[in-house]
Homo-oligomer: A and B are copies of this chain.
Amino acid sequence: MDLELVRQLAQESDSKIVLFVMDGLGGLPHPETGRTELEAAWTPHLDNIARDSSCGFTIPVGIGITPGSGPGHLALFGYDPLVYTIGRGVLEATGIDFELQPSDVAARGNFCTIDGEGKITDRRAGRIPTEKCAELCAELQKIKLEGVQTFVQPVREHRFVLVLRGDSLSDEVKDTDPERLGAKPLAAEPSGQGGAATAALVNRWLGEAQKTLAGCEPANMLLLRGFARRPDWPSMPETFKLRAAAVAHYPMYRGLAKLVGMEALPVGPALEDSIATLRENWGRFDYFFVHYKYTDTAGEDGDYDRKVEKLTEVDEAIEGITGLEPDVLMITGDHSTPAIMASHSWHPVPFMLRSKWGRADVCESFNEVALLQGCLGTFPAKEALPLAMAHAGRLRKFGA
């Protein structure tokens, strides 16, 4: 649903909505057993919920599109990920919980290796350890430029974030990464009318940075990509009329939630921490996004058995959420991460929604085969929140 239409139809209510996301939930059949991770896992509680829910699958971004974590989550938050895109620099800053101000410009940085002629020989500087990255960022942080404040923060291995803070900065600056070996790093150039001053500033900083990094092989130079400003999107509280909270431990998901106007609650890494935080804050919010990371991690590691274990772990804990009796409970993933692929994938994601106003179907368990009997069919993930709003009595009638 278009956000402008959501804004017109949304109404307040005292109902509560919970979105429980098992990251990378969807799977594929194991070649030996023919069973997906969800089929193999012992999940009596989730199966019970499925029997009592409207079931189906979501498509996070589009048919055949493998989503990153950003688009996968934004869709579940009701934001069309093809419309609400986030610049690379902002995503990277968000991922390390850096509090971007509206006028900041962020870029993603890579340390790289250049030879004596200044030509790139390794675009990732041999994937230096994260500790080394942090050390070099601390050195780069010492660079002072007139009229602008700079922040240089490590991410992981060769990756870092550069944030410029100052008046009248522009994000209309092109990448300095030529994206091929044997070429020299590019100077920053404006990509649009307003970018000239900021590009010049970036070039002054690059000059200083190159001096700082001289002799630090393999990380003796750097490349900048994805200059971007924090997006100014319609906020969830204002658009959906929901006081929304994120119960997520990892910075990336907290950051995404904050970009759409959720309050990111402090929470530990374990599922029981999430459930405790949910319980403690139950009265304060209308909508809770609860994030569980470890299904995805296991999937990404190609560890089928561990993904099955993690699903079982969720099953054993899920009563901590159902016991709160939300008016609408959605259980789904942000995308599929089949262990046999050891990566994110484009496959539709198992989804179930429980509410007293839900239509019945004949799904007897929560897995990729049983849910084919679901009454929701396969639908865009961005419609999940409007659907939940309807079931929660939070959407007015359209037209008379």
Contacts and interface: CB of A to CB of B under 8 A. Distances in A.
A371 to B, nearest CB: 9
B28 A359 contact: yes
Q: How large is the interface on A (under 10, 10 to 19, 20 to 34, 35 or more residues)?
A: 35 or more
Contacts of A398: 61, 65-68, 71, 81
A265 interface: no
Interface stretch (A270-278, A318-326, A386-394): A386-394
Contact of A360 (B29, B88, B380, B389): B29
Contacts of A372: 361-362, 373, 375
B361 A345 contact: no
Given A64-B387, A65-B1, A399 B71 contact: yes
A341 B397 CA distance: 13
Q: Which of A88, A380, A387 has the most CB of B within 10 A?
A: A387
A67 to B, nearest CB: 6
Given A71-B398, A345-B357, A346-B395, A389 B64 contact: yes
B395 A65 contact: yes
A62 interface: yes
Interface in A69-100: 69-71, 81-82, 85-86, 88, 91
Q: Which of A65, A372, A388 has the most CB of B within 10 A?
A: A65
Contacts of A65: 1, 5, 9, 386, 390, 395, 398
A368 interface: yes
5 contacts: A28-B359, A64-B390, A81-B398, A361-B372, A362-B369
A377 B61 CA distance: 17
A293 interface: no
